[in-house]
Copies of this chain bind each other. A is one copy, B any other.
Amino acid sequence: MRNQQFAIRPTTAPEAVTELKRIHFLDNNNVILTNPNELLLDLFDRSWPEYPDQPAIEHHLKALMATPDLDGWTYLHSQTEVSIAAFYNLALQRLGFAVDLDFKLADPLAAMQALNLPVYHVTTTNLSASDLTQAWYLLLTTHTHDGQTFLDLLTTHGYFEPLMADPTTPKPLIFNGKAQAVFDTTKLIRDVVYVESSLDTDEDGQRDLLKAEILRPAETASGMTVPVLYTASPYNQGTNDEAGEAMTHNVNVPLEAKQPQTPDLADLTPAALPTAPDPRPVKATTTEATETFARESSYTLNDYFLARGFAVLYAAGIGTKDSDGVRTSGDPAETASTTAIIEWLTGDRVAFTDRTATTAITAYWSSKLVAMTGRSYLGTMATAAATTGVKGLKTIIGEAAISSWYDYYRDGGLVIAPGGFPGEDADVLAEETFSRQLQAGDYHRVQEKWQADLAAITHGQDRTTGNYNAFWAARNYLVNADKIKADLLLVHGLNDWNVKPRNVNNLWNAVRDLPITKKLVLHQGQHIYINAFRSIDFTDMVNLWLTHELLGIDNGAETLIPDVTIQDNAEPETWRAYPDWDAPTNQRLTYQLRHDELVSAKTAGPAEATSFNDQLPVAQFNHYTQAIDDWQRDLLGDKHNDMFRHRLLFKSAVLTDPLIIDGRVQVKLRVAVNQPVGMLSFQLVDYGTAKRLNVSPTNLRQPLDEGFHWREDQLREFQLADQPSPWKMITKGHRNLQNRHNSYQVDELLPNEFYDLTVTLQPTHYRLLAGHQLGLAIYATDFGMTVRGNQDLQYSIQLGNSSITVPWVVDPA
């Protein structure tokens, strides 16, 4: 086990005392204690909210060992001194570490170091009462065996329960720069309101009403204003899974030749949003909602903040259940419906108590500072909102978010499915999320308009060419990246083949020089949340971030949180701080392609040529369409397996030193194909037998309470696989051979004519270990992502004019 905490705020001794008083670990009764043993006994006493009486304290202190021979109770009653070793022996046990298994009583500090837990350093053997205060403060900020701070653990045991109802408790209550769980979640107020947007996307003659579900602390009813975590989730009100599935496109179709064209990028600029009907007249105004809700579809990170004095708002947007409008899969109208909610929260827009829309309701409890949270489509809406520069949106925590929908459904003039979802497209997603359809009465009225809109999406997305066009340009948030005013905390999986890493990379590169604070966390997961991982204090980092951004506390978040945090792919439980990702200043390494080999550009020999044919025997083809894992295994496996002559494999020499790939690998090729149509796919590969991290994290144990008797999350961690694997794909890329310049210009493609082609693979960060080989697979049909026509396409490559360029940084390990 290895712990990594980025969100512990260094605190001066006087500040620590002030903060310990604030959370009632120190008061006039114990601040006067000068004997360390008495002080520590007193602190233990306060740290067991379940045991108000002495006999239980005695029992539980006797259950801990302070030295190899003495239990905690006996030790603290046998002398006035407290040794550092005894303190950390007791501390480690309170943090949930097991004697002998996790640490030795003879040397707890060795374990503290190995586990990477912070230690309060003194030069003496024993701790003074003042030292003890400081060490206790640090201990409260330290992560337990189960990945939460000791203070958060005490919170789940009811430590803050007396403070919740105490009117003298300062709220929000800040400790070590982070908001604490002193809000009673059994008393949360749950409101439904209907925000009136400026659009009429369902063209029913009235502005769209947008349902919002709000949870806020009871304290807001009596004057407290709070910031808002806003999650825009189109899935939130339900989905039409079967209807969406039925619309899924057939991908077993041939790749079609395209007519050459050179469109003007300016022609792709989306039209302005249409003018809407007048707003509804407001007949009365209230602060009391008339509708509530039982159980929102929630995000556990939001739940954590509900206990800490933040309001949470969920809205599903246009075209969802109980709202008006239609789904558009990410166009400017959807963005406008997303920011409309924020405008209400900042007092700049009207919301109504119900759908008769006569009585307006104000967000009087809102401090007008908003953060957006969420993953995937949810994070995408946060990104979209940020690119409008909307007032009040102070920050977004965008996880696995799309920055341009072309980079979600297309690539290089090809239809490229999100990994795992062949045949998915913008129209399928629109249908899936059009949850107005879940209400037959509502659907009955909007059905005709919706079917027409859906047909327009199918037409606009243009699966025939796979080209970038006006439809996709309208869904490219990057063109407005310069409008971003919100600070960014971006999170993405380096193995996310659903929302591919290019999405976060393009955004990161677009904002690098903007005058905002931006942070990036790259993990080894696929398309997942990371807020309950044991090895990193992500939730604490977000707390530090939001306490700074939304509560205005000067807690050092901008500097404490690394600009870039990257989880290592080779060592479990290892996260490192970097100054940047894919920096323009990265060094570059070029390999020439040679027969089966990647060779240093300096030693490249004479040119050769090689070829492969994409067409497979029918039975093999059919099997791969059903068993994509088998295809992937054969693609990268032994050279002479069933994929022999259906792909090319190149491997570097065995590395003598680790190579840290950082950014975008480029492939340059001179290629010909035997027909006027063709595509190429690429996978960059780590070859070398090793135990690697599992694809998915492992659930670790008991539920993790987000507060006190509140909702729970599941602690997780990436673990090494039980068995070694021979290779791992690092990254991949695709290109239509008719899109050699870009994704909207269509180039001529003459059969058997050689063309130069440069393809930028999906960005990555990967530590390739010494003893391993860098590999490159060149192939055509990607069974998981491209169309699968099984066409007789013979691709030839002039190796003398082919190379890859690898950006790299110095090994931090």
Interface set of A (CB-CB < 8 Å, partner B): 49-53, 55-56, 58-59, 61-65, 71-73, 93, 98-101, 105, 156-158, 186, 192, 242-243, 290-295, 297, 322, 353-356, 438-444, 702-703, 705, 708-709
Q: Using known A-B contacts A55-B354, A441-B65, determine if residue A50 contacts B709 with beta carbons closer than 8 Å.
A: no
Of the candidates B52, B63, B186, B293, which one forms a contact with A290 in the assembled complex, judged by CB atoms under 8 Å apart?
B52
A56 close to B294 (CB less than 8 A): no
The complex places the Cα of A356 from the Cα of B156 at a distance, in Å, of: 26
Of the candidates B49, B63, B243, which one forms a contact with A441 in the assembled complex, judged by CB atoms under 8 Å apart?
B63
B354 close to A71 (CB less than 8 A): no
A441 close to B290 (CB less than 8 A): no
B65 close to A444 (CB less than 8 A): yes
The complex places the Cα of A73 from the Cα of B444 at a distance, in Å, of: 14
> Smallest Cβ distance from A53 to chain B, in angstroms?
4
B354 close to A50 (CB less than 8 A): no
> Smallest Cβ distance from A696 to chain B, in angstroms?
14
The residue of chain B having its C-beta at the shortest distance from the C-beta of A155 within the complex is B294
> What are 14 contact pairs spanning A and B, CB under 8 A?
A50-B293, A52-B290, A53-B353, A55-B353, A61-B441, A63-B439, A64-B441, A72-B441, A101-B242, A156-B295, A186-B709, A294-B705, A294-B709, A295-B705
The residue of chain B having its C-beta at the shortest distance from the C-beta of A156 within the complex is B294
Number of identical monomers bound together in the oligomeric complex? 2
Of the candidates B64, B73, B294, B440, which one forms a contact with A158 in the assembled complex, judged by CB atoms under 8 Å apart?
B294
The complex places the Cα of A561 from the Cα of B138 at a distance, in Å, of: 58
Given contacts A50-B192, A186-B186, A295-B709, 16 further A-B contacts (CB under 8 A): A50-B292, A50-B293, A51-B291, A52-B290, A53-B291, A55-B353, A55-B356, A61-B441, A62-B441, A62-B442, A64-B441, A65-B441, A71-B444, A100-B440, A157-B294, A158-B294
The residue of chain B having its C-beta at the shortest distance from the C-beta of A355 within the complex is B59
The complex places the Cα of A65 from the Cα of B51 at a distance, in Å, of: 56
Q: Please indicate which of the listed interface residues A73, A158, A708 has the most CB atoms of chain B within 10 Å of its own CB.
A: A158
Of the candidates B65, B354, B438, B442, which one forms a contact with A98 in the assembled complex, judged by CB atoms under 8 Å apart?
B438
Q: Using known A-B contacts A59-B355, A186-B186, A354-B55, determine if residue A708 contacts B441 with beta carbons closer than 8 Å.
A: no
The residue of chain B having its C-beta at the shortest distance from the C-beta of A64 within the complex is B441
> Smallest Cβ distance from A100 to chain B, in angstroms?
8
List residues of chain B with CB within 8 A of the CB of A444: 65, 71
Of the candidates B50, B65, B290, which one forms a contact with A56 in the assembled complex, judged by CB atoms under 8 Å apart?
B290
List residues of chain B with CB within 8 A of the CB of A49: 294
> Smallest Cβ distance from A90 to chain B, in angstroms?
10
> Smallest Cβ distance from A76 to chain B, in angstroms?
12
> Smallest Cβ distance from A713 to chain B, in angstroms?
12
The residue of chain B having its C-beta at the shortest distance from the C-beta of A100 within the complex is B440
The complex places the Cα of A62 from the Cα of B444 at a distance, in Å, of: 10
List residues of chain B with CB within 8 A of the CB of A442: 62-63
The complex places the Cα of A71 from the Cα of B442 at a distance, in Å, of: 8
The residue of chain B having its C-beta at the shortest distance from the C-beta of A68 within the complex is B444
The complex places the Cα of A242 from the Cα of B293 at a distance, in Å, of: 45
A53 close to B354 (CB less than 8 A): yes
A440 close to B291 (CB less than 8 A): no
The residue of chain B having its C-beta at the shortest distance from the C-beta of A53 within the complex is B290
List residues of chain B with CB within 8 A of the CB of A72: 441
The complex places the Cα of A157 from the Cα of B190 at a distance, in Å, of: 12
The complex places the Cα of A170 from the Cα of B573 at a distance, in Å, of: 54
> Smallest Cβ distance from A580 to chain B, in angstroms?
40
> Smallest Cβ distance from A288 to chain B, in angstroms?
11
The residue of chain B having its C-beta at the shortest distance from the C-beta of A158 within the complex is B294
> Smallest Cβ distance from A184 to chain B, in angstroms?
9
List residues of chain B with CB within 8 A of the CB of A158: 292, 294
The complex places the Cα of A29 from the Cα of B96 at a distance, in Å, of: 59
> Smallest Cβ distance from A744 to chain B, in angstroms?
39
B354 close to A59 (CB less than 8 A): yes
The residue of chain B having its C-beta at the shortest distance from the C-beta of A439 within the complex is B63
The residue of chain B having its C-beta at the shortest distance from the C-beta of A65 within the complex is B440
List residues of chain B with CB within 8 A of the CB of A242: 101
The complex places the Cα of A441 from the Cα of B72 at a distance, in Å, of: 8
List residues of chain B with CB within 8 A of the CB of A98: 438, 440
List residues of chain B with CB within 8 A of the CB of A293: 50
The residue of chain B having its C-beta at the shortest distance from the C-beta of A702 within the complex is B297
B50 close to A355 (CB less than 8 A): no
List residues of chain B with CB within 8 A of the CB of A702: 295, 297
The complex places the Cα of A109 from the Cα of B101 at a distance, in Å, of: 63
The residue of chain B having its C-beta at the shortest distance from the C-beta of A59 within the complex is B355
> Smallest Cβ distance from A271 to chain B, in angstroms?
32
List residues of chain B with CB within 8 A of the CB of A291: 50-51, 53, 56
The residue of chain B having its C-beta at the shortest distance from the C-beta of A442 within the complex is B63
The complex places the Cα of A777 from the Cα of B53 at a distance, in Å, of: 64
> Smallest Cβ distance from A80 to chain B, in angstroms?
21
> Smallest Cβ distance from A86 to chain B, in angstroms?
12
The residue of chain B having its C-beta at the shortest distance from the C-beta of A243 within the complex is B101
